[in-house]
């Protein structure tokens, strides 16, 4: 219930805001080019709120279904046009004017993304320093030469002051299946050969495969609670036990922090392991079979214990990525560009079959992430808004009829051939566009429900 308190309002606000921004782009340029706007609607369906503007008596509407919007302009194809207003009809404007009006929607989405990232950098976003702790000897990070105590300062020439910044850069290299150049604080260079990963590997598995882990303060891991009918209870673990080490046939790990235990367990579902504990000043070794739990479309390990306490991470482990008002502008532009290219690359990989359709998300996933981002703080919600806005811009520029990109494609053809694309061709295009959008939405909703049920 607490999650819904954030999720529903955050989702509605996100969609309404980004749709309003997109449609305002069409609306503003249309008016500047003297096209009469009849209606500006946020959402579809029954109007909840409406009023008339002074100029042109334009109707402004907020409707009941907040999953889109539209700007209705004067157009003889949708109704009769008075003779004295024909010069203000959308379809009577030059192809360049029509192109500008349609292109303005996605363009404003990109501009908003730059603004949101700019504001995020001005406010500053806190993150954990990428100083390595205990690394899994079977991870890509270890195989590439990364060791405990190493601090990553850049990936592919891009500054990475936080661990999340490191993963953002590695995600780009992963999607493009290329080698990532890692620079460390001691001037050494390492290389993560992401092109060697199998095609079936999904972005959601990236953190697990690379295996970066931060350096944590040493503290005793004492069990505070053991869940009923859990693998830990079956193995004989009790509240008050101190876990000091955990191992299987391939790997042994000294447990110096609660996170060490969690990281080991979740990556080894169903495996038989040995757990070294201290109980009443005696050291015992227990056999334990890690349980299996479905989460986010994958299986993770679980043993059913909670810690007695977890000490908060010290302030020295955190840093704030922050820039001045002017120096944050190029950062916002760069961030928007990089993530736009990443989105296009990912879509291309999905189309040619080199990336899974499971990476497509719909409104349910957006709602969940919106609610989660809202709980994490304003700067994280700004990041979310920026990413969704640029994604909206990219998707709307795809040359699919029904989307802005489809109209822009027809206008480009008109510019080249000197006459509009025939109505019969446009009708065929619209039918294809509807079919593609229904397929895309069906896949997105299927993925959403699959994640939700898991």
Which residues belong to the active site? 23
CB-based contact 40:59 (threshold 8 Å) = yes
State the Cα–Cα distance between residues 143 and 123, nearest whole angstrom.
37
Pick from 214, 216, 194: nearest CA to 151: 214
State the Cα–Cα distance between residues 138 and 241, nearest whole angstrom.
28
Q: How far is CA 310 from CA 221, 230, 413, 421, 427, in A?
A: 8, 21, 63, 66, 62
Phi, psi of 68 (to 5 degrees): 160, -165
State the Cα–Cα distance between residues 377 and 395, nearest whole angstrom.
27
State the Cα–Cα distance between residues 184 and 293, nearest whole angstrom.
36
CB-based contact 237:308 (threshold 8 Å) = no
Contacts of 88 (CB under 8 A, 6+ apart): 34, 35, 36, 74
Pick from 213, 212, 174: nearest CA to 194: 174
State the Cα–Cα distance between residues 310 and 259, nearest whole angstrom.
9
Pick from 106, 109, 25, 14: nearest CA to 66: 14
């Amino acid at each position: 219930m607490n999650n819904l308190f954030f999720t529903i309002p955050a989702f509605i606000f996100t969609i309404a805001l980004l749709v309003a921004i997109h449609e305002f782009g069409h609306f503003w340029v249309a008016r500047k080019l003297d096209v009469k706007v009849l209606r500006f609607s946020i959402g579809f369906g029954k109007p909840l709120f409406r009023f008339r503007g002074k100029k042109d008596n334009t109707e402004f509407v907020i409707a009941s279904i907040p999953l889109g919007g539209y700007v209705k302009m004067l157009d003889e194809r949708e109704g009769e046009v008075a003779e004295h207003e024909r010069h203000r009809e959308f379809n009577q404007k030059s192809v360049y004017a029509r192109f500008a009006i349609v292109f303005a929607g996605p363009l404003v989405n990109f501009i908003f993304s730059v603004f949101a990232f700019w504001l995020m950098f001005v406010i500053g976003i806190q993150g954990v320093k990428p100083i390595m702790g205990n690394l899994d000897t079977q991870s890509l990070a270890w195989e590439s030469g990364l060791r405990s105590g190493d601090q990553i300062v850049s990936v592919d020439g891009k500054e990475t002051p936080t661990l999340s910044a490191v993963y953002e850069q590695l995600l780009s290299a992963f999607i493009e299946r290329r080698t990532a150049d890692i620079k460390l604080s001691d001037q050494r260079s390492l290389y993560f050969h992401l092109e060697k990963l199998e095609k079936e590997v999904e972005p959601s598995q990236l953190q697990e495969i690379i295996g970066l882990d931060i350096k944590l303060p040493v503290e005793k891991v004492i069990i505070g609670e053991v869940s009923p009918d859990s693998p830990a209870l079956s193995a004989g673990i009790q509240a008050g036990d101190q876990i000091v080490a955990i191992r299987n046939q391939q790997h042994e790990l000294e447990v110096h922090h609660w996170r060490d235990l969690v990281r080991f367990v979740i990556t080894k579902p169903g495996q038989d392991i040995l757990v070294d504990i201290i109980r009443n000043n005696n050291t015992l070794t227990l056999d334990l079979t890690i349980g299996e739990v479905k989460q986010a479309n994958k299986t993770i390990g679980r043993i059913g214990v909670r810690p007695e306490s977890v000490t908060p991470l010290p302030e020295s482990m955190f840093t704030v990525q922050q820039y001045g008002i002017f120096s944050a502008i190029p950062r916002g532009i760069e961030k928007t560009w990089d993530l736009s290219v990443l989105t296009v690359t990912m879509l291309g990989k999905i189309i040619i079959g080199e990336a899974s359709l499971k990476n497509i998300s719909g409104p349910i996933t957006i709602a969940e992430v919106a609610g989660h981002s809202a709980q994490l703080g304003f700067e994280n919600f700004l990041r979310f808004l920026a990413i969704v806005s640029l994604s909206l811009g990219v998707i709307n520029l795809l040359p699919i009829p029904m989307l802005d990109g489809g109209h822009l494609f027809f206008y480009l053809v008109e510019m080249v051939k000197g006459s509009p694309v025939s109505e019969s061709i446009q009708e065929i295009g619209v039918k294809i566009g509807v079919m593609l959008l229904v397929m895309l939405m069906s896949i997105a909703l299927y993925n959403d429900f699959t994640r939700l049920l898991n």
